[in-house]
Amino acid sequence: MPFHQFEIFPVCGSMITDSVPLPIEYLQPECHGTIVEMCGQPCQMQRLAELGIRQGCKVRMVCQGEPCLICIEGRRISLRLGDSADIFVIPAAG
Partner 1 sequence: MPPDTTSKDARVVALIGNPNTGKSSLFNALCGMNARVGNYPGVTVEQKVGRLSGTAEIIDVIDLPGTYSLAARSADEAVAVNVLSGEIPQQAKPEVAIVILDAANVERNLYLFSQIYELGLPVIVVMNMWDRVTSEGLTVNAELLSQRLGVPVVCTSANKRKGIDELKKTIEKTLRSPSATPQSEQFARAMFPSVFHDEVKQLTEWLESQGRKPSTYQVDRLLIDSDGHFQKLICQSGLPDIATKIDEARLRLQTAGCKVPMFETKARYAWVRKLIDGAVVRQESRSASPSDRIDRWLTHRWVGMLFFVFVMFIVFQSITLFAKFPMDGIQWLQAQASSGVEAVLDPGALRSLIVDGVIGGVGGVIVFLPQIAILFLFIAILEDCGYMARAAFVMDKLMTTVGLSGKSFLPLMSSFACAVPGIMATRTIESRKDRMVTLLIAPLMSCSARLPVYVLMVSAFVPDTKYAGGWITLQGMVLMFMQSLGAMVAIPVAWLLKKFFFPGEPATFLMELHSYKWPSPVVIYQRVWERLVSFVVRAGTLIFCTSILVWAAVYFPGDHMSLDAAVAQLEERQSEVSEMIAKQPPAPRGSEPATEDPSIANMQSKIDEAQELVNQQRSKLIEGSFLGMVGHRIEPLVKPLGWDWKIGVAVVASFPAREVIIATLGTIYSLGSDQDENSQGLQHQMQIAEWPNDGKPVFSLATALSIMVFFALCAQCSATLMTIRRETNSWRWPIFSFVYMTTLAYIGAWLTYQCFRFWS
Q: Which chain residues interact with partner 1 by CB under 8 A?
A: 29-30, 32, 42-52, 54, 60, 62-63, 65-67, 69, 71, 73-85
> What is the closest distance, in whole angstroms, from the C-beta atom of residue 76 to partner 1 in the complex?
4
- For 13-22, which contacts have Cβ atoms below 8 Å and span 24 or more sequence positions? 13/91, 13/92, 13/93, 13/94, 14/93, 14/94, 16/90, 16/91, 16/93, 19/90, 20/90, 21/88, 21/89, 21/90, 22/88, 22/89, 22/90, 22/91
> What is the closest distance, in whole angstroms, from the C-beta atom of residue 42 to partner 1 in the complex?
5
Question: Nearer to partner 1 by C-beta: 7 or 82?
Answer: 82
> What is the closest distance, in whole angstroms, from the C-beta atom of residue 7 to partner 1 in the complex?
25
Question: Nearer to partner 1 by C-beta: 6 or 84?
Answer: 84
